Amino acid sequence: MKTSIVAAACFAAALGCAKDKDTAAPSAAPATSVGVASSSSTVATTSAPVAAAAIVDAAAASPARPPADLDVLVISIDSLRADMPWAGYPRPIAPRLTALEAQSVSYTEAHSISSYTSMSLGGFLGGKLPSELSRDGYFFGTYAKSNLFFPEVLQKAGIVTLSAHAHGYFKNAGFEQGFDKYEIVQGLKWNNTTDENVTGPQQEAIAERLLGDAALAEPKTRFFAWFHFLDPHDRYMAHDKDGISYGKSLRDRYDGEVTFCDQQIGKLLDFVHAQPWGARTAIIVTADHGEAFGEHHQYVHGFELWENLVHVPLFVSLPGVAPRRVTTPRSALDLAPTILDLFGLPAEPAFRGTSLVPELYGADQPPRDVPIDLPATSDNDRRRALIHVEGKALQKVIAFGTQNRMQAFDLDADPGELAPISSGDMFTAMSARLKAVDGETHDLPPTSCKEGCLNGGYAKKKPD
């Protein structure tokens, strides 16, 4: 019998709202809360405290490793913020994802690799910071074939690899490396300053077609699939004709986009569960970045590494594994090694991250520093950041520009990053940690767009 893993990787980022400690979960299924990080970042924690014995019992009841015949499906969602209903947002804008999170191991302190799609997804596929990957240097960056992407590793291992996307950028980004089938939604309108397309239904139909291949149900066939849903990305299109309307503000319209996207993902999940392998499917959810609604005087995303842009949802639903919430910070850099591990493949030495599989199956894993990277491009200056747990406190440092002007933040006391710290013991220690990351990072210069190539095509603007 086949066992499948749906890694519904909905790449999102977070909101600048304070996080409450150990409040009751709004979802029907209770979740335990484990980890060492405090409630320091931008999303309200919804996990209920559970006795240590209960956590041990849940871990003991779980298998030690994933089954040897699983498949993996990644569903990513563009611009999905971390302030979703499962994290305390009061408007029920994503019922299908909320129900899925309640069945999952949910990482409440996950962070994206960068703050916009090109850099985050390049790093996701390459298992590295985008600064370490060969790329041309434009905002809509193209990645060189010389980079090793984890789907190539899967493909060489005989795993069928499938992908489809819903933006013209994906045609020439270089992301197709390692995929047996790679499709783009047809009839897209190109605009390098916004996104004027509604693509969820077409994207979902492609996913059903690719996953409906009868060959995937063969006992010896294993597959990895990745579908990136784009509708929450600006501009925020109205869905009144679909019966979705929360109001006319930017956040109202964004919420409508999330609901519309949630409906498409719900259809895909229904399709998956109806397949011969569907009942044996596990699900992971995360997102490439978040979105700004005026925090730090910014709208849309990219350009900076504030928490509302890089703190992302990440949850994993695995058959037989008890749902719980993990508050230890983790990175989207961990996804490439996790997916390899789920397939039983050895770790790739070139990849930065650490497999989450032992932790998913109950192992106690220590905190790890989480680097976040935004290389200089044709449209933005360089940024690099680091998330660190000190005791039970969550701390962050950001380096601005090539001169590494740094600011530190106590995310427990200052979740909105409004009170930068530029001196003292914490600042000194965090600055040293980030400089150490710089020292171990092999930054590659752009292959084409170098100094003087600014084009301003995707400006810091307020959406229409």
**Span 335-362, average pLDDT:** 94
- Whether residue 27 is predicted with pLDDT greater than 90 in this model: the reply is no
Do 285 and 97 contact (CB within 8 A), yes or no?
yes
Distance, C-alpha 355 to centroid of its chain: 15
Nearest-angstrom CA–CA distance, 120 and 303? 12
CB 230 within 8 A of CB 199: yes
Quote the pLDDT of residue 245: 95
pLDDT, averaged across the chain: 85
Mean pLDDT of the 132-150 span: 96
pLDDT in tens, 248-262: 999 999 999 999 999
Higher pLDDT: 210 or 68? It is 210
- What confidence category does residue 455 fall into, taking pLDDT thresholds of 50, 70 and 90? low
Joined tokens for residue 242: 């679909």
Residue 22: burial class (beta carbons within 10 Å; 0-12, 13-18, 19+): middle
- What value does the mean pLDDT take over residues 393-413? 93
- 165 - beta bridge partners? 184
For the chain, how many residues are written?
A: 464
Name the band, by pLDDT with cuts 50, 70 and 90, for residue 51: very low
As a whole number of angstroms, the distance between CA 2 and CA 281 comes to 9
Instruction: Compute the distance between CA of residue 401 and CA of residue 379 in angstroms, rounded to an integer.
Output: 13
Quote the pLDDT of residue 428: 97
User: What average pLDDT does range 70-93 have in this prediction?
Assistant: 93
> Looking only at Cα atoms, what is the longest distance across the chain?
62
Confidence of residue 90 (pLDDT cuts 50, 70, 90): very high
Calpha distance 385→372 (Å, rounded): 5
Question: Can you tell me the distance from the alpha carbon of 45 to that of 41, in angstroms, rounded to the nearest whole number?
Answer: 9
The residues, any chain, with a CB within 8 Å of residue 270's CB and separated by 6 or more, are none
In sequence order, which ranges of 69-219 are alpha helices (DSSP H)? 95-101, 117-126, 150-156, 200-211
CA dihedral 19→24→25→26, nearest 10 degrees, is -100
Continuous segment of H or E residues that includes residue 138: none
Between 464 and 453, the higher pLDDT residue: 453
Token code pair at residue 181: 């089938």
Residue 244 has phi, psi (to 5 degrees) of -120, 115
Which parts of 115-210 are beta strand (E)? 160-165, 181-184
pLDDT band at 71 (very low <50, low <70, confident <90, very high): confident
Asked if 422 contacts 68 with a C-beta cutoff of 8 angstroms, the reply is: no
Whether the Cβ atoms of residue 178 and residue 155 lie closer than 8 Å to each other: yes
Q: How far is CA 126 from the centre of its chain?
A: 14
Q: What is the reported pLDDT for 449?
A: 82
Nearest to 59 by CA among 105, 116, 106: 105
* CA-to-CA dists, residue 46 to 95, 100, 129, 444, 463, angstroms: 15, 14, 30, 40, 31
